[in-house]
Amino acid sequence: MIKLSPNTMFSYSVSKGTAEARAKLAERINDKVFKNVLDLYGKKGSCGLGSIKQRYNLALPERKNVNIVPLPVKDYEDFGGGMQIEDMGDRILGYSIQIPVSKKRKMNILDLPEFMHESTHVLDYLLNPRYISNTKRMYDLNIFDKEYFSIYEKLFDNPDAMFSNSAKKMLFLADEKTREAIKDLPFKEKITFLKYIKYNMQMEDHAYNQDLKFAKLMKKLGRPTDSESLQDYASVMHFRKKIGIVNNIIQEELAKARVK
């Protein structure tokens, strides 16, 4: 069984309230992070990793284990927020944001909107205990290692698939293939997997909207901005429609369980 460190979530005094209130709090913290980090750049095009980490942690309402991890620029595709897990794999310690850096360990200002995207993921985890608790259950049930997990990666969180196919087709497949994959699973496993998809779609929708918000702000401020960051990926990926699909399946499965 995977254990959760207290560093994986803010205290109740910080995170109490509705889901909407927690999302707004994440955005207010992100606003502080953005200002703190952007100020470091001045008129320069890059900024040191150590300074970014210090400014990031200053914006958090409580001290938590959020690591800022350097990656060589050639590993740009690995840019992303993620959970830090102990070597033995038995404890989730906290979270990390990976940053592509130069040989001098500096992040390009063009990557700041993407950094804010990943910051949103970390904050959503810290503020929503159900997210990290569901991920823990995913590990406990070994769902990440099961063949049907690929449905999530192929049909829900796959930009290439959305760009190369019609949205109508991808949404239909997401619904059809998910129902087909879970039909013979034990109830607990079904609900855990479905909630994992739902929560991750909620987090991706939030993160892409924050990404776009800060890219637009940087452009307004006259700062260098990558055109890629100004794309509305949350709309292109139809995260909210996918959430609706999964919500319907969850409700159907719960109704079936009550009948039994």
Tokens 């823990």 found at? 136
Can you give the pTM of this predicted structure? 0.92
Digit-coded pLDDT (tens) for 98-126: 888 888 888 999 999 999 999 999 999 99
The predicted model gives 220-234 an average pLDDT of 91
CA 16 to chain centre: 20
pLDDT of residue 82: 58
Q: Which residue has the higher pLDDT, 76 or 186?
A: 186
Whether residue 131 is predicted with pLDDT greater than 70 in this model: the reply is yes
Report residue 222's pLDDT band, with 50, 70 and 90 as the boundaries: very high
Percent of the chain scored above 70 by pLDDT? 93
**pLDDT tens digits, residue range 9-30?**
999 999 999 999 999 999 999 9
| Amino acid in the structure at residue 77 | E
- Give the Cα-Cα-Cα angle 25, 20, 115 (nearest 5 degrees): 50
Contacts of 229 (CB under 8 A, 6+ apart): 110, 113, 114, 211, 212, 215, 218
Most confident by average pLDDT, 39-53, 74-88, 200-214 = 200-214
Locate the domains of the chain by residue range: 1-128, 141-260
The mean of the pLDDT values for the chain is 90
The answer to whether 138 and 195 are in contact (CB under 8 A) is no
Q: How far is CA 132 from the centre of its chain?
A: 11
46 burial type by CB count under 10 A (0-12 exposed, 13-18 middle, 19+ buried): middle
Q: pLDDT class for 75, splitting at 50, 70, 90? A: low
Q: Which amino acid is at 216?
A: K
**pLDDT over 60 at 86, yes or no:** no
**The pLDDT of residue 83 is above 60:** no
| pLDDT value, residue 87 | 44
